[in-house]
Structure formats: C-alpha cells, structure tokens
Amino acid sequence: MKVCILGSGLSALTLAKALVNENISVDMVSSEKKLKKNFSRTIGISKSNFEYINKNIINIEKIIWKLKKIEIYSDNLKNEKILNFENNEQLFSIVRNFKLYEILKKSLLQSKIFKILKSQKNLIFLDKYNLIINTDYSNLFTKKYFNKKIVKTYNSHAYTTIIKHEKIINDTAFQIFTKKGPLAFLPISKNETSIVYSINGVKNNNHEYVRSLINQYNFKYKIKEIKKLDTFELKSFNLRSYYHDKILAFGDLLHRIHPLAGQGFNMTIRDMNILIKIIKQKINLGLPLDKSVNDQFEKKLKHKNYIFSNAIDLIHEFFNLERKHNNSYLSKSVSFLGKNPSINKIFTKIADEGITF
C-alpha cells in the first residue's frame, strides 16, 4: 500500500505520521514554495484529540501547555463572565505550530517508508499510488477539482502574537468579545501567552494600535513585551466535493473556520481519526485502498463538518449582532444558559469531541 500526500504543512505531516505508524508507505510531494516558519501561531487541541494524537500519532506531552479553565467575557457585560468551562486536570492544550511541525518532521525523516519528493512539475508519476491526499492550495488538482466551495468572508483580519509577562499560574484561557471583534488569550507557559485578535474591518497596518487594544483588554497579565504581530484575512469555507477519483482533499483545503473557538486543527484531527479507521478496515479485510476510501470518508464526515462549521459561524454572528446593536441581551442569555450544568456539559462535550451523532 502506498499513499502520496501533496503539501508539507502541519496537516500533511500529521497525517503522514499517522499513516506511517500503520506501516503504510508515504511519499510527500513538497510544495516548491518554502514554508515560512511562524513563531507567533499556536494551535488549540481538545482533550480527546490530545489523547488520540499521543496514542496514535506522536507523543506531544513535552511541547503542550495544559489548560484547566476557559472563560468567556463580553465587552457589553463589563467584567462579568458569560461562560466558564473547567476541568481540574486538562480541558484543552495549546501548542506552538512550529514545535509540533519540527517533532513530526524529525520523526518522519527517521522512517524508512517515508520520503519527501521535491519536484511537483510532473504529476504523471502519481498513477503509482493507491491514494493521493491533497493538502496543497497551489497545485493543478486543487485548481481543477477542488475550487467549488461554500465561502463566507468576514471582512476582518486576525492578528497573532506572543506576549511575555511576569510568571503566574497560567492555566486559564480567556476570550473577550470586544467591540472590535473576539480577542483570545491562550497560555503557552508560566510567562508567555499567545494572542489571537480578530478585528473587524480592513487590514490595519498600525500594529501599535493593535498592541494598545491588547493592553486595554488585558486584565490579568503584567506584560513585559508584545512580540511581532502577524496578520491574515479571515474566511470560512467548506468544499462542495471532498474527492475526485482517488484524490482526496484534506486539512485546511477541505474546510476552514473562524478561529474564535480554536477548532480548526481539531476538525482536521477528527477527520484524520475517521480516515485512518476506514483505511485500517480496508486493510484488515484484505481490500485495496482505492477511491472507495474517499467515498466513505465523504459520506461519514461531510454533513457533520458542515453543521459544525456553521455552528462556529453562528457563534460569530451571534456576538457580532450584539456588537452592532450595542446591547447586552444576548450575552445575558448565554450567561443564563451557561450556568445550567447540563447545558454547560453539552457545550464542553461538543468543543472536545465535535459532532458525534
């Protein structure tokens, strides 16, 4: 059995490692465009996905920072918490993108059944693979087969950075739905915290202004330094078709969501779990890996991913509506619901496991 993965980003490396662990040969066709290492980007990983990664892909215990609480605030309710999620051991984990990237790549390069192919100019050789998994935005397959999407543009940009601050017991993430957009403080150590601020409107190149907003809404940290900011435009989309013949779209190429809930990479890991199960079942039954894998994958996940993506979008629109009307009725309603233990438990379970029906 041999699989080709197009692209060499985080989703591609994680999937490659999962496949290699199942003794499936993987060739990775790296994009000619060199990936820029981003030191300010972080990923949130739910407890169930952390356990899946540790058990089935690679041990990430040493590079993650565990969170016991997540608190949600709104500008319109001053300092009052509208939602609170808590677990005395581990509710969520934060990991720096580049650290996860590095340990995955290092591990893969030690495997005899994994190799990286640099050239992408001639794709005829792809006929020799049982499956082709595409995570690359720029290749011919993407332009030809994976260009039909359900797209939403938010007219906003995300600003990411790391703040250095005095040491504290830093095990609580908090998000504030500000008048400019959602601002998340995501701890990564005792004295460092990752920032993701989604600001409405056109891209603001005045990073000092963004820094001033971070300082304005910070009520927890004694900040020593705000590092360089990175910016990207916010869009969400879902592909209309997950595959073409034996070529399967995967990762951010398959779906992208607003970062306010930290669920983008979690969706990819859940997808990966299902894909690996389908592949293992085929192998155990002595069946070949072919386009039927892709068909099963789409049937199992397309509707769930679409519902989950729209649920995240609904949260964004919910608080965006409150921001536009400058009232606190919606936040008060969410706060009231969140105080119900049964409803809070449902919210926590969906954030951890996604949609499981």
pLDDT recorded at residue 32: 57
d(CA 73, CA 176): 5
Taking only the tens place, the pLDDT of each residue in 277-315 is 999 999 999 998 999 999 999 999 999 999 999 888 887
In a domain, 212, yes or no: no
In a domain, 213, yes or no: no
Give the pTM: 0.91
d(CA 52, CA 54): 6
Domain range enclosing 111: 2-152+235-353
Radius of gyration of the chain (CA): 21
With H, G, I as helix, E, B as strand and everything else as coil, classify residue 172: strand
**Residue 152 · residue 22 · CB < 8 Å:** no
In a domain, 344, yes or no: yes
Taking only the tens place, the pLDDT of each residue in 103-146 is 999 999 999 999 998 765 556 667 889 999 999 988 888 999 99
In a domain, 172, yes or no: no
* Residues present in the chain in total: 357
Taking only the tens place, the pLDDT of each residue in 10-34 is 999 999 999 999 999 999 998 656 6
Q: What is the mean pLDDT of residues 62-74?
A: 92
Count how many domains the chain has: 1
Q: CA torsion sign, 10 to 118 to 16 to 283?
A: positive
**Residue 23: Cβ-neighbour burial (10 angstroms; 0-12, 13-18, 19+):** exposed
Taking only the tens place, the pLDDT of each residue in 142-193 is 999 999 999 988 889 999 999 999 999 999 999 998 889 999 999 999 999 9
In a domain, 193, yes or no: no
Q: Residue 197 — very low, low, confident or very high, per pLDDT cuts 50/70/90?
A: very high
The CA dihedral of 145, 151, 157, 161, to the nearest 10 degrees, is -50
In a domain, 65, yes or no: yes
What CATH number does residue 116 fall under?
A: 3.50.50.60
Type of residue at 9: G
pLDDT recorded at residue 330: 64
**Residue 283 · residue 1 · CB < 8 Å:** yes
In a domain, 244, yes or no: yes
Type of residue at 239: L
In a domain, 208, yes or no: no
